[in-house]
Structure 1
Amino acid sequence: MPGKQFILWGMLLLTFGCGGVSDAPDRRIVKGSVTLNGEPLEGAVIRFLPQPAGPVAAGKIINGMYEISNKGGVPLGNHRVEIKGTPILPADTEGKSLGEIDAATKPAIPIPDKYHSKSELEATIEAGSEPFFVDFELKE
């Protein structure tokens, strides 16, 4: 009989000890557009920072559009949003030297601090199975 109890306890430990409840927050794919003074933002990075705390989700803005889908998207809930310009690489870099790529790279578009380091942007990501759309219209 002691052998059967050992097997029973072992099965219970495997059942409850492995693959238990995940601490990862629920997430949703988020897409949208970003304009600066009415023009699509050519190149930048967008970050969703959960409030008051949690895992940050980020993505690239290219030609005014972004999509955050890595790790299932953006955690649900309230977020402070930061947008920062990044250098814009040429579309085709194949066969080019680093010097040629560097010469063709456009400098980062300056984004006002009120959208980055002192961001006033906010978004609330709600539960759902389809992508959630959030657009941002930035003005200097």
Structure 2
Amino acid sequence: MRRYSTPTKFMCLLACLAALPLAGCRESTGLQKVIVSGSVKYDGQPISNGEIRFFPIEGTQGPVSGSPIVNGTYEAKYRDGVPVGKHRVEIMAYRSQKGSVPEEIAREGGPTEQYLPARFNTDSELTRSVEASTKSLDFDLSSKKKK
């Protein structure tokens, strides 16, 4: 019977522990998700600082997905993207509070205000379907209500 030295046993144990994440221990949710990106404008101007969220509705399964909006663009890639299905979309846009600090400082954590109408966020009227083939969803918001 062959005996292994303590350093050899330690190295084998270390190698086994390092390989565990590669063994597929992560639970699969079975949800189909896609990474979605696009542009977001308000009255024709790119939203420079904000966030977008996709809330599953009408039987769509999965978590809420989202992304920061930076210089008018977003990429919802966290948690493997947006679940395939129908979503209510909330968009927030932030700017420096009037008279407080320049916009560049507000983006770095200064005092900000959310300036989009509630129909784009807390009372969102926006819905979008995300298909397995969806790569891009653009949003061109207007301060004027559609009739």
* TM, length-normalised to structure 1: 0.68
Map of 2:130 onto structure 1:
125
CA 117–20 in structure 1, closer or farther in 2 if over 3 Å, else same: closer
Are residue 136 (structure 1) and residue 139 (structure 2) matched? Answer: yes
Structure with greater contact order relative to length (CA < 8 Å, sep ≥ 6): 1
Say if 2:52 is the partner of 1:49. Answer: no
Identity of aligned residues (%): 34
Aligned partner (choices 26, 29, 47) of residue 23 of structure 1 = 29
What displacement does 1:22 show? Answer: 3.2
**Deviation string for 1:54-78 (max 9, x for gaps)?**
3100100011100011121101110
Is there any run of 5+ residues in structure 1 with no aligned partner, and where? 1-17, 94-100
Please state if 1:108 is matched with 2:113. Answer: yes
The number of aligned residues is: 111
Match of 1:79 in 2: 87
Aligned to 2:43: 37
Change (3 A) 1:112 1:25: same
Residues 1:106 and 1:62: Cα distance change in structure 2 (over 3 Å): farther
Asked if the contact 2:88–2:128 (Cα under 8 Å) also holds between the matched residues in 1, the reply is yes
Query: Given the superposition, is the C-alpha separation of residues 82 and 20 from structure 1 closer, same or farther in structure 2, using an over 3 Å criterion?
Result: closer
Aligned to 1:60: 68
Q: How much has 1:21 moved relative to structure 2?
A: 8.0
- Opposite residue 134 of structure 1, the aligned amino acid is L
* 1:23/1:118 CA distance change after superposition, 3 Å: same
Task: State the distance in 1 between where 2:72 and 2:93 align.
Answer: 12
CA distance in 2 between counterparts of 1:83 and 1:135 reads 12
8 Å Cα contact 1:43-1:108 kept in structure 2: no
Aligned Cα root-mean-square deviation (Å):
2.7
Q: In structure 2, do the counterparts of structure 1 residues 29 and 20 end up closer, same or farther at CA, with 3 Å as the change threshold?
A: closer
* 1:69-124 per-position Cα deviation (integer Å, ceiling 9, x unaligned): 11211011100000012356737x9xxxxxxx66xx36234010110011111111
Counterpart-to-counterpart distance in 1, 2:104 and 2:81: 27
> Do 1:83 and 1:115's aligned partners in 2 also have CA atoms closer than 8 Å?
yes
Q: Alpha carbons of 1:44 and 1:82: their partners in 2 closer, same or farther (altered >3 Å)?
A: same
